[in-house]
Amino acid sequence: MPDDCNDPATRSRPASPWLVLACAMAILGASSVAATANNPPLKDHAWGGCTLSSSVQNTIKNALQAESSALGTVSVDFIVIHTVTAQNDGQPLKSGGNTGVVLCTFPGTNAKVTTETTPIPNASDQPGSTNIDVLQVQQQAVQQYKINDGARANKTEKRLCQTTQGNTDCWRVSKP
């Protein structure tokens, strides 16, 4: 793993926006994440059975903190892993095909499978609760496309747009 993933003092210049992703990928490659029999990754479905260690969490927090002096104290409770060239943004399955995105949590954060139509609150997830206040709604859209001509002909790219508090920000995500 590059030294600057762990030690911002070793950098001669600010890290690229992709440093955090590179560090996370390096860490994830070395992490042991096993699917349990009752929560295996499935073809064409997002998978949320990934729990990473506190040391991985701290490495990602430190790398993100080093990206900009404008950030306050960084908190990382879960990450969603997208893949540029794979269908569904997912990971390849040994049985064929790909998962959807992968949701990884860290110790102290839970991710429980639910549905779009499950009431919030409900007796099994929030016992004794009868009402909620919606604090915000965020939306993310990912478009995968293949370029047909020009200098990047036959390259797969994605457009990622995230709407937060009514502001939509988009990025074109690609590999060389």
Element of type H or E holding 144:
strand 139-146
Render pLDDT for 141-169 as a digit per residue (tens, 0 to 9).
999 999 999 999 999 999 999 999 889 99
Structural contact between residues 69 and 118, judged by C-beta atoms closer than 8 angstroms = no
Give the Cα separation of 71 and 60 in Å (integer).
14
The pTM (predicted TM-score) of the whole model is 0.74
Render pLDDT for 61-74 as a digit per residue (tens, 0 to 9).
999 999 999 999 99
